[in-house]
Structures are given as structure tokens and as C-alpha cells.
Structure 1
Amino acid sequence: MRATTASAIIEAAPAPPLADELRRHLLLAGLIAFYAAAVFVLALMTGESDRFRPFSYAYMLNLAALIFACVAIGARTVELALVDKEPRPTQRLWRDIRLHVLAPRPLMMRATPFIVLPVLIGSYSSFKTMIPALHPFSLDLSLYRLDQWLHFGVDPWRLTHALFGGAWATQAINLGYNAWFGVMWVAILFHAVKIDRPHARMRFLVSFVLLWMILGSLAAVALSSAGPCYFGRVTGLADPYAPLMARLDAIDTALGGKGGGLGLLALLTQDMLWQAHVDGAAQVGAGISAMPSLHVAVATLIALTAWQHSRAWGWAMSAYAALILVGSVHLGWHYAVDGYAAIAATLAIWWLTGRLLAWLGPDSRARTLGSGP
């Protein structure tokens, strides 16, 4: 009989070789420490040290972790009392927590991501606002032309709007796209606390870190671009995306208007990000970067990981990744090639991380594709 999610989180803590786990977690922490240090040095060198805020996202993940822990403990208590008919459920719960959560090995495995991942995302947020200073937006025209060449002279957004151009279809895509941040946090929480598949878990976490380091930072600077919604502002050329933005404005008006009713939040967010860029603000969530798309990259990574848990989750998260790819174009955030490049690079990073972790310590507990959770 399969354990429920709550019991699996609190009870199921296998014991992979400690040396392997230490190496894996040191790799995770070391990568993030290196990245944070590099961003800090870069901020000092460019006179942007006030932008370096590595702990700006810590409260979000810690609050989410607290809520998650309360839900898991409550669910496990109900399970013990009503399903297992445990005569003293709170005593059993405390025993489980002491043995399977607070013991040194599971505590180290679970605590490490909660300590280091907020530093990664906070450092990246700091770095993202520095991209235009390091390499001003310069590839938007080239990416527009590449999009047209790949799609036989047709703007990709015209294809998505031909299929999903209705107001409510666009709103559904907008809501799904906006949910990306929450989906990402849930994926982080899941892989932070669910330690019974150590290889798959660490493959996700290390790949996640490399996405932000390689795609979100190195590639974003090398391929500095702002995206279709800002094309005219950063190029000074006639804007081929003006019809797209006019169409989105019309849909937004039909739904309730910017900032009101059921309007498209994407348009409001685009305006806020541009204003922060113009003001040089270093606030949480600021920064503009199009190529490659981290939204698509992270959604692809989550889909790859989901396939290791079950086919149902694999199909579901693959569909969500496809929605993010479509939404990135449909809402004017990205060129289609931003998403294509992100998918290809994520697959390469996924493969590389698998080889790296196998070298650090093979794991006999790794499940095959399509096996149950």
C-alpha cells in the first residue's frame, strides 16, 4: 500500500551513503556560493553594489516552507487519527518528526535547499537589473528576423492569436503564465522536502541552479535583448509588434482594463518592469531580459523531473511547459526563439547534471521513466 504524500514527507527518509549526499549538497551549495560571490564582485566593479540583495527572496521561500510544513503536519495528524486509528496520534507524530525530520541526515538534506536557494534567486534578481549596463539591449532586431525566418515569414504571435486569440482564451493563457512563479516555488518545496529519491531530487536542484547561472546570467548578457513588448523602445525602429500590443490592449479593455476588473496582468507587469528599468530601480522582481526564456527553461525542467515520478505528472507538466512557451509569445514577452533556445539548453543541462551526479556517486534508488511515485 502506497504511503500518502504527508506520510511520505514525514516518514520516508531512506539512507543513501552519507558521503554521496554530502558531496551532492556541497556541490549545490558551492555552485550558489560561487554565483553569489561572482555577482557581488561584478556589482562592486560596476559601481552597482547597492543592487546586490541576495536575501531579497528569503522570506518568500521560508514563508512558503512554513505554510507547507503546517499543512503536512496537519495532514499527517489527521491521517494517524482517522486512517491509521493511532490511539495517541500527537505522540506518534512527534516521534516521526524526531526520527525522520530532525535526525542529522534528513535535516541536512532538507535544510540545505532552504538556506541556499533564496540566495541564488536573490543574487539573480540583483544581477538581472545590471544586464543593460553590462551589455545594452542589442539583439532584438536579429531575434525578430530569426523568428520570421524560422516561421516562413510569419510572426509567431500571429499563429498563436489565430488559434487562441479570443479574449477569454488569452486570459486563460495569461493566468497560466502568471502561475509560473507559484508552480516554481511548489517544485522547489517538493524537491527540498521529498528525499526518498535522492538522485532525481538532486538532479532537479542542481539543474535548477545551472539554469539561472548559465541561461539567466551568462547567456542573458551575451544575447542581451528586451523582448517584443519593448521592441520599439529599445531599437528606435518601426515596431513590428505594435499590432500585437494593440491587440492585447483591446483584449485588456474588453476584460476590464489595466489594473482593474479582469484585465491582462501581463500588460500591467510589462509597464511596471519598464518603469523600473527607466528609473534604475533595484526592487524585487525588477530587470528585463528576453533571450533565453527562463520561464520556458524552468517549466521544461519541471516537466523533465515530473516524468521521473509518473507518466501522468509528466504529461501534465509537459502540457504546462507548452502553455508557457505559447504564452511567452502570445503575450509579447518573448520571441519564439527565446523559448526554443531555452528548451534545447535545458535538455543539455539536464543531461550534463545526470552525468555529473552519477560521477559523484551512483544511486541505485533512481527510478526509471514512468515508474510510480
Structure 2
Amino acid sequence: MFDDEPWVRPAVVIALATLAAAGGVRLITGYPAAPSGMTSLVVASLIVALTATARLLTAIFRMWRAGVAHPIAQLRSAAPAALREQWLILLGVTVVAVLLFSTSFLKSMITAVVPFWADDTLAKVDAAIGLNGQFLANAIRPWLPAVGLFYGLWHISNLGGILWVIHWRGPARGRFILSFMLTWAIGMFAAYLVSSAGPLFIGSYDLAAAPDSVQVPARFLWANYQAKGALLGGGISAFPSLHVGIATWFALVLAHRGWPKLGLAYVAAIYFGSVVLGWHYGADGAGGIIVALAADWLSRKCVRRNGQDATPSVIAAFQQSPKKERSDRRLGGDHRAADAS
């Protein structure tokens, strides 16, 4: 049914593999808690229903504006293609929901498999390069609440970014859905290998001096950790920084749309925030960038294997002039406009 959508099968495999990994870790370790999947199911259903309604209303409005004589007949003729596209959106939302549900559970169970051991090493790396998050926080204390607020808006690029991509058309959609999923999956595997909590949780960063946007989620995470809970979004892990990893993924998305400098600035801002707010060591962000670039390389390779890769490489995407990109789109000469519409 979706033979011309090369991302579908690997996306389903990644989602099921992470779900199986979460189930396996819980079975082996006897972890006492399990997250409820109802929230993810309800949210996914609402997203699909809202997007289907929005698309229908948009189509009706466009036909009304164009003065189409028989809009109902037009809708009927377009229904098969529209239903197929809606199934693809439903599938994309579902596999991403399963992935995020599973990785959240896996994150909560890290210390049931591997106790936090890498914090000393990561702190020594920071010390060796002269990086001190607490010092930086003290230096910009008046602006720290604003940094914390901006950092918290990362969820827009995480959830909003992937939902945006799922609604694209063309090979770029497959590339970025897969790279998003692989960033999370590879990042979680690395989190088990380099088990670490982060400066906030080992006492090398003063939580009391942090803004509320840091204190509230930090206390939530610590309470979930102490209770051996499995609340969605409740796990603790420093390396690699998936905040920076997903920011890198989003930067690649923005570069594909012709805004490479905006993407680079966003990665730099999230990287800085991850350190100055005490969540991460410097090496964590570097690890997140490497994970995201590796995930993008793998996703491009997968799409290319099916002969449908029409997206530029990472270097080519960031070298593309945004001004030229927009000019090409107006002329209709850029394939990416069709891919990402």
C-alpha cells in the first residue's frame, strides 16, 4: 500500500524495536512501574482528527475562493488520495508516539541496568576545557530566567517540528521522520552506555540558584527517580543531550527549508542553555550533535536505497543561500518546495 513511501517500514521497525527494548528491560530488571500509554493514544488521536478537519476545511475554502461549480463532486474525486495521505499522517503520528512513549520508559529505567557512572569523567572533560556551567550562570544571572524560558520552548521544535514534517509530501518527509526517530533511538542506546545524571543532580550546580523553569522540572525528575517511577518525560540522563540532538535535527529541517543560519543559531542557543542551566556537561551537547548527524546520514542512506532521495546533503543544505532558495521556490525550480509543502 505504501511501497512508494520508503520510510514506512523502517519507521515501524524502529518504533517496535524501542517498544520491545522497553518491555525487555522491564522484564529483565523487574522495574516496578510502567507508564500509561493512554495519554499518548489520546493525543495522537486528537492530532490526527484535528489535521484531517483542518485539511478538509482548507480544501473547501480554496474551492469556494476559486469559484468551483461542484465542490462536493471535487471532494469525492479527491477523496481516495486524501484518505491515503491521512493514513500516512496517522501512521507517522502513531510510530512517533510509540517511539517517544518507549524512549521515555527506557530513560526512567537506565539506573536499573547501569548506575550513573560517567559524571566524574564528563565533569573532568569540562574542567579540562575550562567550561563551568555554574560560573556562566552566575555571570548572566539577571538573564537566567529568560534563558530557562527559551530552553523550555524546546518542546516546540521536538513535537511541533516532527508534526510539521509528518505533514510534508515527498522524499524529504521520509528522511526527516526517520532521522528524528533514529536520533531518539540511538541517543537512548548511548544514554545506557554512558550513564550519567548531570550537574544539577550530582550537586555540582546549585539548584536553589536556578530559575523556576529549571527547579520545577528538576524536582519532578528527581521525585520520579527516587520513587522508581515511569512518568512520561520523567527519566534522568545527561549524555548525550537529546535537547541538543533534536535541536540539531530541527536545524537540518530548517536548512532544508532554506533557513540554515536560523538553524545553527538555534542549536547554539540550546547548547548554551543546556550547560548554563545545569542540565548538561559540555560533552553531552557534542554527543547529541554527533547522534543527530549520524541519524540523518542513516536516514538518507535508507531513503536513497529506495531511489527516492532528492534531498541535499548536510553540507550542501547549510551552504545553500536562503535568499536563492526563496527565489528558486518562487520560480518553481526547487524540488524541495514540492517535497515539503
Q: Same fold (TM over 0.5)?
A: yes
Is 1:204 aligned with 2:176? yes
Structure 1 match to 2:266:
320
Which whole-Å CA distance do the structure 2 matches of 1:337 and 1:56 have between them? 33
Q: How does 1:162-181 map to 2 (within 5 A)?
A: 162=139, 165-167=140-142, 169-181=143-155
Q: Does 1:337 pair with 2:316?
A: no
- Residue type at the aligned position of 1:291: F
Q: For residue 147 of structure 1, what is the aligned residue in structure 2?
A: 126
> For 2:197, what is the secondary structure of its paired residue?
coil
Q: Which residue of 2 aligns with 1:115?
A: 94
Query: 1:63-82 counterparts in 2 under 5 A?
Result: 63-82=46-65
Query: 1:215 and 2:187 equivalent?
Result: yes
Percent identical among aligned pairs is 29
Task: Indicate the SS of the match to 2:215.
Answer: helix
Q: Distance in 2 between matches of 1:176 and 1:351?
A: 29
Offset at residue 291 of structure 1 (A): 0.5
Q: CA deviation at 1:342?
A: 0.8
1:100 alignment partner in structure 2: 81
> Of residues 4, 17, 24 in structure 2, which corresponds to 1:41?
24
Cα distance between partner residues in 1 of 2:118 and 2:191: 11
Residue equivalent to 2:214: 266
Distance in 2 between the 1:342 and 1:96 partners? 46
1:133 equivalent in structure 2: 112
1:284 maps to a residue whose letter is: L
1:61–1:185 contact (8 Å) kept in structure 2:
no
- Is 1:297 matched up with 2:245? yes
Deviations 1:35-81 (A, max 9, x none): 21122122111112742655652322332333344444434433433
Q: Secondary structure of the equivalent of 2:230? A: coil
Deviation at 1:118, TM superposition (A): 0.9
Is 1:363 the counterpart of 2:285? The answer is no
Q: Secondary structure at the match of 1:59?
A: helix
Asked if the contact 2:93–2:166 (Cα under 8 Å) also holds between the matched residues in 1, the reply is yes
Cα root mean square deviation, aligned: 2.6
Q: Per-residue deviation at 1:172?
A: 2.5
What secondary structure does 1:147 align onto? helix
Q: Which residue of 1 aligns with 2:209?
A: 247
**1:268-299: per-residue Cα shift (whole Å, max 9, x none)?**
11011111111122222211111101111011
Instruction: Give 1:102's aligned amino acid.
Output: L
Mapped pair 1:60 → 2:5: no
Query: CA 1:175 to 1:95, structure 2 compared with 1: closer, same or farther past 3 Å?
Result: farther
Structure 1 residue 317, shift from structure 2 partner = 3.0
The answer to whether the 8 A contact 1:51-1:126 is kept is yes
Q: How does 1:12-51 map to 2 (within 5 A)?
A: 19-21=3-5, 23-48=6-31, 50-51=33-34
Relative to 1, partners in 2 of residues 1:87 and 1:57: Cα closer, same or farther, differing over 3 Å? same
The higher-RCO structure (CA 8 Å, 6+ apart) is 2
C-alpha separation in 2, matches of 1:69 and 1:306 = 25
When normalised by structure 2's length, the TM-score is: 0.83
Runs of 4+ in 1 over 6 A off after TM superposition: none
Aligned length: 318
1:299 counterpart SS class: helix
Which ranges in structure 2 are unaligned for 5 or more consecutive residues? Answer: 330-336
In 2, Cα distance between equivalents of 1:156 and 1:178: 17
Whole-angstrom CA distance in 2 between matches of 1:93 and 1:266? 52
Determine whether 1:227 maps to 2:198. Answer: yes
Instruction: For residue 291 of structure 1, give the secondary structure of its aligned residue in structure 2.
Output: coil
Q: TM-score, normalised by structure 1?
A: 0.77
**SS across alignment from 1:267:** helix
For residues 318 and 271 of structure 1, what CA distance do their matches in structure 2 show?
A: 31
Are the structure 2 counterparts of residues 294 and 154 from structure 1 closer, same or farther at C-alpha, using a change threshold of 3 Å? closer
Answering whether residue 136 of structure 2 is matched by residue 188 of structure 1, we say: no
Q: Which amino acid aligns with 1:362?
A: G
C-alpha contact 1:215 1:294 (8 A) present in aligned 2:
yes
2:309 and 2:224 mapped to 1: Cα distance? 49
Alpha carbons of 1:45 and 1:306: their partners in 2 closer, same or farther (altered >3 Å)? Answer: same
